[in-house]
């Protein structure tokens, strides 16, 4: 058979390679503490699980692409409380099946040859661009602030652009963005008629001031924000997120998405509405990630590892590793992701996702200092 040349030419998804290495270590009998993948492993709060069970209906019909009004309204109300913005749940919000599919598919919905992608980055922006037959133009994120230099994008590239991807709080660097960057990016998007797509998957995992949102710009024309309950409410398996922003883009997604079949099940949407309506559990989740950071900080420092990034997400973006350290730690069972898995600009860094239990983080701290 003739495979898509994009698929045929694609390197193995980096995390598949990591999984194979971890498998080998585990098979040799070493206890693995996995900081490699950004998948929350905390329990989903009980009231959310109960909401899902209560929403199960004997009759199972297809969910609609535009989603349940009660979920769209819950998302709009949450955005109002969290960011002080007024969103119309009918025109400015659409539920998604987690946020990954929506991030991947956006390039199919928009015209324009070029997708502007941060580097290093979550790999899905680039993959969505390539499968949609678009060119990728990389925006380097460099220490100390890991923000893109919008002035460095050539005019002829801007003229051909379909999407500018931004991701703050950032995976993998943990950096946050000031609101004026969103203002400048959205002005550029309107000027050149592309979409500023802001992936805010980690907006609720923070340890300093609550990060802002691209929803807060003065004019949301050509602006789309992606968010998810995977991190905020420890619900990665539910697959529930949203896109919010420019009503014209939301209308386009309502036309496009029924072709793909990515509407979230209605029982999941009802559980999601309950989750967006509660902040107490999110506070508890933040407290847990903070405790993990604090448990590991002295041990990391003792190994010469410094967190180079910001005060949000559950990632540490570690610099100062001597060559071979990632492999040596892997043999001890401590799995960190090499920074270059997120692209060449990540070389020299290690990403640590604080997703093992607090007890495992404490154990890893002991192993790091050689106890
Ligand atoms: C930056 C970023 N965006 C989006 C996602 C997608 O999350 P989900 O599809 O679970 O909503 C992830 C998941 O790891 C992520 O790291």
Its CATH class, for the domain covering 59-276, is: alpha beta
Which atom of ligand 1 approaches the CA of 199 most closely?
A: 3
* Percent of residues, the chain, with pLDDT higher than 70: 100
Which atom of ligand 1 approaches the CA of 38 most closely?
A: 14
Whether 337 lines ligand 1, by a CB cut-off of 6 Å, is no
Which atom of ligand 1 approaches the CA of 167 most closely?
A: 1
- In this structure, is the dihedral angle defined by the CA atoms of residues 314, 317, 322 and 328, taken in order, positive or negative? positive
CB 289 within 8 A of CB 205: yes
**Which residues does 248 contact at the CB level (< 8 Å), separation at least 6?**
none
CB 262 within 8 A of CB 105: yes
266-276 and 46-54 helices cross at what angle (nearest 10)? 140
Whether 213 lines ligand 1, by a CB cut-off of 6 Å, is no
29 CA distance to ligand 1 centroid (A)?
A: 31
Whether 241 lines ligand 1, by a CB cut-off of 6 Å, is yes
Of the pLDDT bands very low, low, confident and very high (cuts 50, 70, 90), residue 371 is low
Q: Whose CA is nearest to atom 6 of ligand 1?
A: 100
Whether 199 lines ligand 1, by a CB cut-off of 6 Å, is yes
Which atom of ligand 1 approaches the CA of 121 most closely?
A: 1
Whether 176 lines ligand 1, by a CB cut-off of 6 Å, is no
Which atom of ligand 1 approaches the CA of 240 most closely?
A: 11
- Closest by CA to 132, choosing from 104, 159, 157, 174, is 104
Which atom of ligand 1 approaches the CA of 39 most closely?
A: 14
The average confidence (pLDDT) of the chain is 96
Whether 230 lines ligand 1, by a CB cut-off of 6 Å, is yes
CB 318 within 8 A of CB 300: yes
- Mean pLDDT in residue range 273-288: 98
Q: Is the pLDDT of residue 15 over 90?
A: no
Q: Whose CA is nearest to atom 2 of ligand 1?
A: 201
Distances (CA, A) of 66 to 71, 94, 271: 10, 6, 17
Whether 38 lines ligand 1, by a CB cut-off of 6 Å, is yes
Task: Report the residue count for the chain.
Answer: 371
pTM for this one?
Answer: 0.96
Q: What are phi and psi of 173, to 5 degrees?
A: -85, -15
**CA torsion angle for 179, 181, 187, 192 (degrees, to 10)?**
-150
350 CA distance to ligand 1 centroid (A)?
A: 19
pLDDT at 161: 98
Q: Whose CA is nearest to atom 3 of ligand 1?
A: 201
* Percent of residues, the chain, with pLDDT higher than 90: 92
Topology of domain 5-44+280-370 in CATH is 3.90.1150
The dihedral region occupied by 3, where left means phi > 0, alpha psi between -120 and 50, and beta the remainder, is beta
pLDDT at 14: 75
31 CA distance to ligand 1 centroid (A)?
A: 27
Number of CB atoms found within 10 A of residue 114's CB: 21
100 CA distance to ligand 1 centroid (A)?
A: 6
**CATH 3.90.1150.10 domain position(s) in the chain:** 5-44+280-370
The C-alpha angle with vertex 221 and arms to 220 and 224, in degrees rounded to 5, equals 65
Whether 120 lines ligand 1, by a CB cut-off of 6 Å, is no
For the chain, what is the radius of gyration of the CA atoms? Answer: 20
Q: What is the pLDDT of residues 202-258, one digit of tens each?
A: 999 999 999 999 999 999 999 999 999 999 999 999 999 999 999 999 999 999 999
Provide the 3-class DSSP secondary structure of residue 342.
Answer: helix
Whether 34 lines ligand 1, by a CB cut-off of 6 Å, is no
Helices (H), ranges, the chain? 5-8, 14-27, 46-54, 69-83, 100-109, 124-131, 155-159, 179-192, 229-232, 247-256, 266-276, 280-302, 325-331, 358-368
Whether 203 lines ligand 1, by a CB cut-off of 6 Å, is no
Whether 167 lines ligand 1, by a CB cut-off of 6 Å, is yes
Q: What is the pLDDT of residues 79-132, one digit of tens each?
A: 999 999 999 999 999 999 999 999 999 999 999 999 999 999 999 999 999 999
Distances (CA, A) of 64 to 254, 257, 262, 335: 9, 10, 9, 40
Whether 313 lines ligand 1, by a CB cut-off of 6 Å, is no
Q: Which mutation among 75, 104, 228 tests ligand 1's pocket best, with the greatest number of atoms within 8 A of CB?
A: 228
Q: What is the pLDDT of residues 39-79, one digit of tens each?
A: 899 999 999 999 999 999 999 999 999 999 999 999 999 99
């Amino acid at each position: 058979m003739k495979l898509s040349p994009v698929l045929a030419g694609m390197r193995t998804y980096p995390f598949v390679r990591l999984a194979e290495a971890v498998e080998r270590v585990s098979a040799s009998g070493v206890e693995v503490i996995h900081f490699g993948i950004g998948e929350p492993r905390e329990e989903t709060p009980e009231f959310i699980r109960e909401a899902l069970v209560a929403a199960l209906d004997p009759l199972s019909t297809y969910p609609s692409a535009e989603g349940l009004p009660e979920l769209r309204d819950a998302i709009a109300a949450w955005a109002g409380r969290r960011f002080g913005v007024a969103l119309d749940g009918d025109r400015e919000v659409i539920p998604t099946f987690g946020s990954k599919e929506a991030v991947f598919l956006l390039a199919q919905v928009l015209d324009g040859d070029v997708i502007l992608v941060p580097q290093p980055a979550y790999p899905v922006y680039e993959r969505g661009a390539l499968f949609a037959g678009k060119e990728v133009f990389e925006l380097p994120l460099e220490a100390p602030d890991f923000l893109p230099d919008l002035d460095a994008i050539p005019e002829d590239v801007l003229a051909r652009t379909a999407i500018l991807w931004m991701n703050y709080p950032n995976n993998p660097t943990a950096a946050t963005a000031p609101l004026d960057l969103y203002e400048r990016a959205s002005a550029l998007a309107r000027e050149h008629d592309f979409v500023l797509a802001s992936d805010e998957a980690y907006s609720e995992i923070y340890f300093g001031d609550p990060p802002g949102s691209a929803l807060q710009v003065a004019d949301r024309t050509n602006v789309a924000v992606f968010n998810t309950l995977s991190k905020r409410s420890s619900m990665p398996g539910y697959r529930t997120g949203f896109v919010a922003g420019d009503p014209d883009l939301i209308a386009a997604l309502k036309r496009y998405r029924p072709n793909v079949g990515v509407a979230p099940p209605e029982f999941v949407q009802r559980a999601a509405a309950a989750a967006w309506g509660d902040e107490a559990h999110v506070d508890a989740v933040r407290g847990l990630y903070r405790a993990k950071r604090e448990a590991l900080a002295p041990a990391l420092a003792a190994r010469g590892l410094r967190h180079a990034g910001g005060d949000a997400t559950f990632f540490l973006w570690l610099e100062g590793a001597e060559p071979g350290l990632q492999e040596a730690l892997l043999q001890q069972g401590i799995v960190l992701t090499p920074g270059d898995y997120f692209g060449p600009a990540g070389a020299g860094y290690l990403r640590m996702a604080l997703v093992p239990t607090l007890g495992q983080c404490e154990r890893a701290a002991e192993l790091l200092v050689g106890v």
